[in-house]
Amino acid sequence: MKSDVVAVGEALRPLAERLGLAWASAQPAQGLALIETPQGLAIAGDPLRYGNPLVVDFATGRADHRRRFGGGRGQLVAKACGLGKGVTPRVVDATAGLGRDAFVLAGLGAPVLMLERMPAIFALLEDGLRRALGADAEIHDIAMRLQARWADAASDLAGAVVASGFEAQVIHLDPMFPHRDKSALVKKEMRVFRELAGDDDDAPRLLEAALDVATHRVAVKRPRRAPPIAGPRPAHVIETRTSRYDLYVHRSLR
């Protein structure tokens, strides 16, 4: 079920107005709230239900570990988006979420335009990117390859790409899919996402838009046993033990 996030505190009033979020002076007892924390802007709720507050943190923790030890261009997301020896495409991540996939791709040299339609999730992304730009030189350089835009890619992908002055060689899609992660931590994090974003039931429309706009390739992340998104059959499928990408290819990137 989709629910709203309430932005809390005077400092977040302009953000709430810009993104059309509800605003309150204090955190409500129930539901999800957008709050300022020492770690950055966060979506928070009852910890028993939602776990730790959600922040976008490119500079430390999981993102930093994956950047240093994650396997470089051998990672599935990199292969799916066509990053190879001497090939570094420009990628639109049209379901940016917390920007984890986008940050991996940018860390490997690809310019990435991140599109996110849920205002509260976009607010976290924008805040994480701002902090990354102020981090040490290595993270700063990666952040310089990232752009974030608040947009619904299913209804105006072409417009968002043009307005960003970007060239969509590859479009990466990772829409929500019911019940795919089983670990307790991820379950709580996914609960936040699911309550905010729902199940992305319009993924077929998003795929159609991506196929229209991408000049070279569309890469769709799917749980391993899930059916492909309704539409044309993928040209290739690549997978690991836990996840899969369906590839729709217009033109070679080489």
Ligand X SMILES: C[S@@+](CC[C@H](N)C(=O)[O-])C[C@H]1O[C@@H](n2cnc3c(N)ncnc32)[C@H](O)[C@@H]1O
Residue 141, token pair as written in the block: 């350089």
Instruction: Measure the CA–CA gap between 102 and 79, rounded to whole angstroms.
Output: 13
The separation between the first and the last C-alpha atoms of the chain, rounded to the nearest angstrom, is 43
Question: Judged by CB under 6 A, which stretch of 2-10, 68-76, 79-87, 173-181 contacts ligand X?
Answer: 173-181
Residue 157, token pair as written in the block: 């992908």
Question: Judged by CB under 6 A, which stretch of 42-50, 57-65, 95-103, 224-232 contacts ligand X?
Answer: 95-103
230 exposure class (CB count in 10 Å sphere: 0-12, 13-18, 19+) = exposed
Q: Does 118 bind ligand X (CB under 6 A)?
A: yes
Question: Judged by CB under 6 A, which stretch of 27-35, 67-75, 113-121, 210-218 contacts ligand X?
Answer: 113-121
Instruction: Please select the residue that binds ligand X; options are 126, 127, 174, 195, rule is CB under 6 A.
Output: 174
**Range list of β-strands (E), 38-86:** 40-44
Q: Does 154 bind ligand X (CB under 6 A)?
A: yes
Q: Does 66 bind ligand X (CB under 6 A)?
A: no
Shortest Å, Cβ 212 to ligand X: 14
Distant-in-sequence, close-in-space partners of 254: CB < 8 Å, separation ≥ 6: 84, 87
Please report, as residue ranges, which positions from 218 to 247 form the binding site for ligand X (by CB under 6 A).
none
Rounded to the nearest 5°, which phi and psi values hold at 33?
Answer: -135, 150
Q: Does 152 bind ligand X (CB under 6 A)?
A: yes
- In 3D space, the residue among 151, 146, 182 whose CA is nearest the CA of residue 166 turns out to be 146
Q: Does 5 bind ligand X (CB under 6 A)?
A: no
Q: Which residues bind ligand X (CB under 6 A)?
A: 94-95, 97-101, 115-118, 121, 152-154, 174-176, 197, 200, 206
